[in-house]
A and B are shown apart, each in its own frame.
Chain A
Amino acid sequence: MLVARRELAAYVNTYWGWTIIFVALLLDGLFFQALALTTTAQYSADVLSKFFFYTGGVALGIGVFVTMRLFAEERQTGTMVLLESSPLSDRQLVLGKYLSAMMFMGLVHVLTLYMPAMIFVNGKIGYAQIAVGYLGVMLMCSAGVAMGTWASSISRNQILAAAIGGVLVLLFVFCHWLAKLTDSPFKELFSSAAFYAKQFAPFEDGRINTENVVYFVSVTFGFLLLATQSLTARRWE
């Protein structure tokens, strides 16, 4: 938790962290105003569903910029040696960094609560749909943050980390398109791996499926494991 606390403090004590928060809230607000709150009559549940659709996308996008600095910045500034020479294991280091990014993402999403609250006050939706929607956003966010953590762990600079993380996230977001271009078994593989089209959609509507939760947890675990391995591998250079 020590690493996570310092990292979180570094986010909120710098312009970088507040810039990300500002951009995230601006995009969320714009999408909510322009695309979710249309002039045509629609059910409150549909408005909320659209809100989570756009918020999820924004979360994945800013996740790339939040995670790019985790290890790459430490390497750029030469402070990685403090972590590598500490008694913390590589697993603890990765977990600390991941948790800091997730806490920051959690903070960003707490600040978006006013939008579902508006729908709740003016329409007919339940607490559960809001809670499940946010659970989905955070689960998808967790998978994206884990990818970014891995990208940062293998990169010497933040731009490269952002590029690798960004490509990876886009691949998982749009892999249902790849499914349309390929034959079995890749068709099924790409189709089931798609973040939005397959795994996140039920959360938008307030439904929790175990398979979706397991998928996001598995992707998170897999990429955090890769990040741990890449840190360990550097000791064998």
Chain B
Amino acid sequence: MISVEGLTHYYGNRRAVENLGFTIAENEIVGFLGLNGAGKSTTLKILAGLIIPTAGSVKIDGTDLIAANADFRSAIGYLPEDPPLYKEMTVYEFLLYVGQLKGRSADAVVARMPHVLKVCQIEHMQHRVIAELSHGYKKRVGIAQAIIHQPRLVILDEPISGLDPRQIVEMRQVVRDLGKECTVLISSHILGEIAETCDRVLVLKNGQIDAIGGVAELSAAATAKGGTRLTFQLRGTPELVTSALKSVSAAIKVAIEPDGEGLVKLHVALSEDQREKVVAALVTAGVGVRRMVEDDSELENVFLGLTQGATA
């Protein structure tokens, strides 16, 4: 459905994205992952038709978005990080206005309204003035405005930033429901969220695509790039620990910090999975190993592994 080729964009002399190329199938939920400045928002803005890229093409169902006239924007719904809301309006009035602004008749918007209110779980808020809503509900109204005109592509830039844990769980369901009726692109810093909701992940680094795939695929790729990260609680001195790890060739990053009386916390990144060797080296050197855990977020490992060397 969406085909991006050679997408490049410069802000003045500063490169935001370069030579991006990917395809996204219909009704797929794709996550955009990357550090700040990696080019996520720029890519999403181009896909939303807000900015015209310096080079490259974006085709939606074979139609070139850049060459197409403004009418084509009615096929796209976009939610930026800060939801664009007219706060003096009620939720209902606002959605009715945005639906018409996006090219639908008032009757069509009214007919679709109950479904959108239900999907976004804001039925009971429809007659409230937007200024009075909590941040979480404003986000939901933001999503509602992005889908009220029944777009084929919905772009959500950081849809869960600023939400509390309960709202995040609810928002996850909202995004999953969206995937049943349209293609969804999401960027998020909350990595677990990408794993929970997205069919595929696209990792951006310094304006270029570093990896594309499912979470499992990317996890394997990250391990190959040095994605195994361990945290130890040890009894010993930092000098002793450092000296012990010199014999472990796979230890590419080591950080030691005090962790109470006579204890240290060791963070180590391994280029390959040699955790037995690490433990053996520490014990041989006389360091007491009290605890060892693998960093628990699988996707975080992927993210850190893949973005190593990126300039944030």
Asked whether any CB of chain B lies closer than 8 Å to the CB of A103, the reply is no
**Residues in A neighbouring B71, C-beta threshold 8 A:** 87
Closest to A6 in B: B97
Q: Are B50 and A82 touching (Cβ within 8 A)?
A: no
Q: A14 to B76: give the CA distance in the assembly, Å.
A: 32
B213 at the interface (CB under 8 A from A): no
Chain A, 71-88, CB within 8 A of any chain B CB = 77-88
Q: Which of these, A2, A78, A81, A87, contacts B70 with CB under 8 Å?
A: A87
The interface size bin for chain B is 20 to 34
Shortest C-beta distance, B65 to chain A (Å), equals 12
Do residues B78 and A81 form an inter-chain contact, with CB atoms below 8 A? yes
At the interface, yes or no: B86 with Cβ under 8 Å from chain A?
A: yes
Question: Which residues of B lie under 8 Å from residue A13 when comparing CB positions?
Answer: 88
A236 at the interface (CB under 8 A from B): yes
Please, what's the 1-or-0 string for B57-91, where 1 marks a CB less than 8 Å from any CB in chain A?
A: 00000000000011111101010101111111000
**Closest residue of B by beta carbon distance from A234:** B51
Question: A residues 10-41 with Cβ under 8 Å of B?
Answer: 10, 13-14
B103/A87 in contact, CB under 8 A: yes
Q: Which residue of A lies closest to B155 (CB)?
A: A85
Q: Which residue of A lies closest to B76 (CB)?
A: A85
Q: Is B200 an interface residue (CB 8 A)?
A: no
A6-B97, A14-B88 in contact; A81/B72 too (CB < 8 A)? no
List residues of chain A with CB within 8 A of the CB of B102: 86-87
B101 touching A3, Cβ below 8 Å: yes
**Set A14, A79, A85: member contacting B73, Cβ < 8 A:** A85
Nearest residue (CB) in B for A14 is B88
| CB < 8 Å neighbour of B80 from A2, A81, A89, A237 | A81
A82–B149 alpha-carbon span in the complex (Å): 13
| Interface pair A236/B84, CB less than 8 Å apart | no
A232: nearest residue on chain B (CB-CB)? B52
- Assess whether B33 is interfacial by the CB under 8 Å rule: no
Please determine whether B50 and A85 come into contact, CB atoms closer than 8 angstroms.
Answer: yes
Do A85 and B88 form a contact, CB below 8 Å, given A235-B51, A237-B51?
Answer: no
Closest residue of chain A to B98 (Cβ to Cβ) is A82
- Per-residue CB contact flags for chain A residues 90-103 toward chain B (1 = under 8 Å, else 0) read 00000000000000
Instruction: Provide the residues of chain B in CB contact with A84, threshold 8 Å.
Output: 49-50
> What's the nearest-Cβ distance from chain B to residue A73, in Å?
10
One of B51, B72, B84 near A87 (C-beta < 8 A): B72
Query: In this assembly, does B307 line the interface, its C-beta being within 8 Å of a C-beta of chain A?
Result: no
Q: B residues within 8 A CB of A89?
A: 69-70
Query: Which residue from chain B places its CB closest to the CB of A91 in the assembled complex?
Result: B70
- B101 and A78: CB pair below 8 A? no
Chain A CB count within 10 A is highest, among B51, B70, B74, for B70
* B100 is an interface residue with CB less than 8 A from chain A: yes
Nearest chain-A residue to B106 (Cβ)? A2
Q: Report how far A86 CA is from B82 CA in the complex, Å.
A: 17
Q: Would you give the shortest CB distance from A176 to chain B, in whole angstroms?
A: 41
A87 and B88 alpha carbons, distance in the complex (Å): 24
Residue from B51, B82, B85, B100 in contact with A2 in the complex, judged by beta carbons closer than 8 Å? B100
B234 part of interface (Cβ distance < 8 Å):
no
- Whether A88 contacts B101 in the complex (CB less than 8 A), given A78-B82, A81-B78, A82-B145, comes out as yes
Indicate whether B30 reaches chain A with its CB closer than 8 angstroms: no
The answer to whether A85 touches B49, judged by C-beta atoms less than 8 angstroms apart, is yes
Residues of A within 8 A of B78 (CB): 81, 85
Question: Contacts A235-B52, A237-B51 hold; do A86 and B84 have CB atoms under 8 A apart?
Answer: no
| B161 to A: closest C-beta gap in Å | 14
Contacts of B103 in A (CB 8 A): 86-87
Given A13-B88, A87-B103, the answer on whether A235 and B70 have CB atoms closer than 8 Å is no
Q: Which residue of A lies closest to B81 (CB)?
A: A78
With both beta carbons as reference points, the residue of chain A lying nearest to B12 in the complex is identified as A237
Q: What is the CB-to-nearest-CB distance from B247 to chain A, in angstroms, rounded to a whole number?
A: 54
0/1 interface trace, chain B 98-124, chain A, CB 8 Å (1 if under): 101111000000000000000000000
Known contacts A78-B80, A237-B11; is-contact A85 B48 (Cβ 8 Å): yes
A47-90 CB contacts (< 8 Å) to partner B: 77-89
A125-137 vs B, Cβ < 8 Å mask (1 yes, 0 no): 0000000000000
- Could you list some 28 contacts between A and B, CB below 8 A? A2-B97, A6-B86, A13-B88, A78-B84, A79-B84, A79-B85, A81-B50, A82-B98, A82-B101, A82-B145, A83-B101, A84-B50, A85-B48, A85-B49, A85-B76, A85-B78, A86-B74, A86-B102, A86-B103, A87-B70, A87-B71, A87-B102, A87-B103, A88-B70, A88-B101, A235-B50, A235-B51, A236-B52
Given pairs A87-B72, A87-B74, A235-B50, 14 additional interface contacts (CB within 8 A):
A6-B97, A10-B86, A13-B88, A79-B86, A81-B80, A82-B84, A82-B101, A85-B76, A86-B103, A87-B71, A87-B103, A88-B70, A235-B52, A236-B51
Residue numbers of B with Cβ under 8 A of A are 11, 48-52, 69-74, 76, 78, 80, 82-88, 97-98, 100-103, 145
